[in-house]
Structure 1
């Protein structure tokens, strides 16, 4: 990893992993629902979209508009997909955490 590469934040990692799980159905409400159901993380849609926009500016996700739907008042959904750079960044983050966890004792933490 080069010195210019930055690590992903915790929430960025969660969002990227949600996109990978949702595949072709990764849009705001579905991402939010997955995070709530799987990890009990309640997320404001504004915070989620701010993160998705930041990830897109970094080139870690791409997006496209779907078809307009009647249930959304004729507005289209924006679908998101993890790019190759996003996959690489996610793998770097996982590798870093795996390395740091290697020498942590496998017992309850003392408080």
Structure 2
């Protein structure tokens, strides 16, 4: 599969899932993205993105345990796949390479 790249929001969601290791479900991912991006994010947008990334094979999910706090509903927990990690690493390499090519950052001025 040719790497088509990640959208900015997809990348932020994948990074949040990695940071949350084992506790990545909708509301936690939303909070993590907001905390690091400094912007407000809709929970619906997070859910849509999580499922889209799962459909692309970049995330996998399973149902977590029940809790009284959630009215006995179970959480869907997301985890990055090896393909998802490859996509993140590729995105990071492209960004770093391009940043290093900005003339005023490399001239010492």
Q: Which residue of 1 aligns with 2:39?
A: 41
Please tell me whether residue 106 in structure 1 is matched to residue 102 in structure 2. Answer: no
Uncovered stretches (5+) of structure 2, i.e. residues with no partner: none
Q: CA deviation at 1:58?
A: 0.4
Unmatched 5+ stretches in structure 1: none
In the alignment, which of 1, 13, 16 is matched to residue 15 of structure 1?
13
TM-score (norm 2): 0.90
The 5 Å alignment of 1:62-101 reads 62-101=60-99
Report the CA distance between 1:20 and its aligned residue.
Answer: 0.8
Deviation of 1:43 (Å)? 1.0
Alpha-carbon RMSD across the aligned residues, in angstroms, is 1.4
User: Counterpart of 2:51?
Assistant: 53
Instruction: State how far apart, in whole Å, the 2-side matches of 1:19 and 1:37 are.
Output: 13
Please state how far the C-alpha of 1:69 moved relative to its aligned partner. 1.0
**CA deviation map 1:1-55 (0-9, x unaligned):** x7x3200111111111111111011111111111222221211111001000110
